[in-house]
Chains A and B, each alone.
Chain A
Amino acid sequence: MIYNLPFYAVIIIIAIGLYIIAFKRNLIKIAMGITIIQSGVNLFLITLGYRKDGLAPIFTHLPKDTPIPNGMVLPVPQALTLTSIVIGVAVLALILSFIIVLFREYGTLDTYKMRRLKE
C-alpha cells in the first residue's frame, strides 16, 4: 500500500473539496471547494504518467547516459494537465464574476438567506 501513496493523496484532496461543497454556506468557500477538486484531478493526471527514476522528456542538455525511451517520463499526460489547468482558470473567472453580481443584488453572501429575499 505504501507504493501507491500519491493515489491516496488524490483521494484525500477530492474528499476535502467535496466536503466543502456539500456542507458550507458561504459562496466564496464553495468556489474554493470547486478549485480544490480541480487541483486534485490535475494531480491525478500527472501521477498517472510517472516512470521510476525518470527525467523530463526534453532533449536540450540531457545527461549523456540516459536510455532514450525508457529513462523519460511520459509526455502525453502533461499535455492533458496543461489543458485542464487553463479550463479551471476560465471556470473560476466566471464563478467569481457571478459572485460579484449576486453580492451587488442581494447584499449578502449566505446561500440560506438568498432564497428568502425573493418575495
Chain B
Amino acid sequence: MRKILAFVFFIIFCGFLFISVYELHTFGDPPSDMDDYIINNAQNQTGANNAVTSVVFDYRGYDTLGEATVLFTAIAGVMILFRKRREP
C-alpha cells in the first residue's frame, strides 16, 4: 500500500538527517573569520552600535531588498485572490 512506502521513505530520510550531524562542527566553537572582521570594524565603517542591524542593512543590504520584494509579492497575491466581482 502507499502508506507503507511513505513510511519507509520517511525512515530513510530521518536516518540521513541523523547521520549528517557527525559532519558538523562541535556546538559552541564555530569557524569565524568573517564575523571577527565585521565585529571589529562595524562601528568605524557604519557608525551604528548594533552589529546585527548593520549586517542586515549595510553589509548585506541587497538581500533585504529581495526580502522586501518577496513580502510585497505575497501581499499582492492575497489582494488579487480576495477581489470582489462586480455583477454585470
Q: Do chains A and B touch in the complex (CB under 8 A)?
A: yes
Q: Contact residues of A with B, CB < 8 Å? A: 3-8, 11, 14-15, 18-19, 22-23, 47-52, 57-60, 68-69, 72, 74-76, 78-79, 82-83, 86-87, 89-91, 93-94, 97-98, 101
Select from chain A the residue with minimum beta-carbon distance to B72. A90
B52 touches A75 (CB 8 A): yes
- Return 16 A-B CB contacts under 8 Å, by A number: A4-B26, A5-B27, A7-B21, A15-B10, A15-B14, A15-B17, A23-B3, A47-B27, A48-B30, A51-B32, A59-B51, A72-B51, A74-B35, A78-B55, A82-B56, A90-B74
- B71 contacts across to A, CB distance below 8 A: 86, 89-90
7 more contacts with CB within 8 A, not counting A48-B30, A72-B39, A83-B67, are A18-B13, A23-B6, A59-B49, A72-B51, A74-B32, A75-B52, A101-B81
